[in-house]
Amino acid sequence: MIETIGISILWVFLYGYLIIGSIDFGAGFYSYYAKVTNKKHTIRQVIDRYLSPVWEVTNVFLVFFMIGLVGFFPASAFYFGTALLVPGSIALVLLAIRGSFYAFANYGARESNVYLFLYGITGLLIPAALSTVLTISEGGFITVDDSNVQLLLGELFVSPYSWIVVMLAIVSVLFISASFLTYYANVAKDKDAFELMRKFSLIWGGPTIFLSFLVFLTLSTHNPEHFQAMVEEGWLFVLSLLAFLAAILCIYKRKFMGIAFLLVCFQYGFAFFGYGYTHLPYILYPHITIYENVTSPEMGISLILAFLAGLLLLVPSLFLLMRLFIFNAEYARGR
């Protein structure tokens, strides 16, 4: 029971990070794109107004997931911790560059192209780096002997599965954030920005589906067990595809932009939870399962209680944040 609740909480938070992190990362990239193509006054204003108040919140989702994972499944700290020193550290440095340079560029005195470039490019590199953790969790990239855990970096570099996941991550970031910014530009009644972001949504939509299929294909050879489980729950992925098609239709027709973004969230929701659900009981193939490596019931229950108490605090606060900034047309328009 505890393991199910625990992994569900964690997965929901990782999904939250996937969505708002993608919006954030992609927006950074588009912001830089707008800068080099001199479109400053349309899209960048919209991006700045969305990003400024919420960027710190994004980071917390990731930390929350990691700490929660260590809490509910302590052994994962040992395995992932030992194996991921190098890729993890690189992702951390990228996150650090991104976070601090965003603050420097945004609150600092001068707008600098270097800061913006770093901010934009890390927005694509970080998801690429983080997505390799999911790849590693599929097994085959870690050796364990005498409790000595090692990551096979070479294998990771030549694995087609690993590269397709990386590409899917980057394309998803661009698509999710474009579809959100299309909606947000619409709320802000910024026509130029709206048209630009709509175009990007349509451009990046197709590749997300294409690469998802490739992920399926390569997983079938890389981890047949997981692939088989995914086929059995295939209806989830069909729903994901349907949500995607409906979203693209809305965006194409320039109608129901809010619903279109929600549909994109559903597209990723179905796929992400389908992927996660079929990944179980393994957290890390074949070393960590949620049943064998769950924490003690005492700790598990106290973590769940703390989580509920935390939600009581956070949900109203997040609601306030959204009311004041994101879903506030006056604010979005820059008044």
Contact pick of 16, 33, 39, 57 for another protein (by CB under 8 A): 57
**Is 168 in a helix, a strand, or coil?**
helix
Token pair 């998801």 in the structure block, residue: 127
Of 294, 270, 272, 271, give the one whose Cα is nearest residue 282. Answer: 294
Helix locations, the chain, DSSP H: 2-36, 45-72, 74-83, 85-107, 113-137, 153-158, 160-187, 191-222, 224-232, 234-253, 257-279, 297-321, 329-332
Footprint of another protein on 201-230 (CB under 8 A): none
CB-based contacts of 59, cutoff 8 Å, min separation 6:
95, 99
Rounded-to-integer distance, Cα 36 and Cα 39, Å: 8
Q: Could you say which of 12, 90, 167, 236 contacts another protein (CB under 8 A)?
A: 90
Q: How far is the CB of 324 from another protein (least distance, A)?
A: 6
Binds another protein by CB under 8 A, chosen from 29, 50, 73, 141: 73
- Asked if 167 touches another protein (CB under 8 A), the answer is no
| 317 forms part of the interface with another protein (CB under 8 A) | yes
How many Å apart are CA 42 and CA 47, to the nearest integer? 9
Binding string, residues 111-150; x marks residues near another protein by CB under 8 A: -------------------------------------xxx
Which of 214, 217, 229, 321 is close enough to bind another protein by CB under 8 A? 321
Q: Is 333 exposed, middle or buried (0-12, 13-18, 19+ CB in 10 A)?
A: middle
As measured in angstroms, the least distance from the Cβ of 134 to another protein is 16
Which segment (27-35, 73-81, 125-133, 229-237) binds another protein by CB under 8 A?
73-81
Name the residues that contact another protein, by CB under 8 A.
52-54, 56-57, 59-60, 62-64, 66-68, 70-71, 73-75, 77-82, 84-86, 88-90, 92-93, 95-97, 99-100, 102-104, 107-110, 148-150, 295-296, 298-299, 302-303, 306-307, 310, 313-314, 317-318, 320-321, 324-325
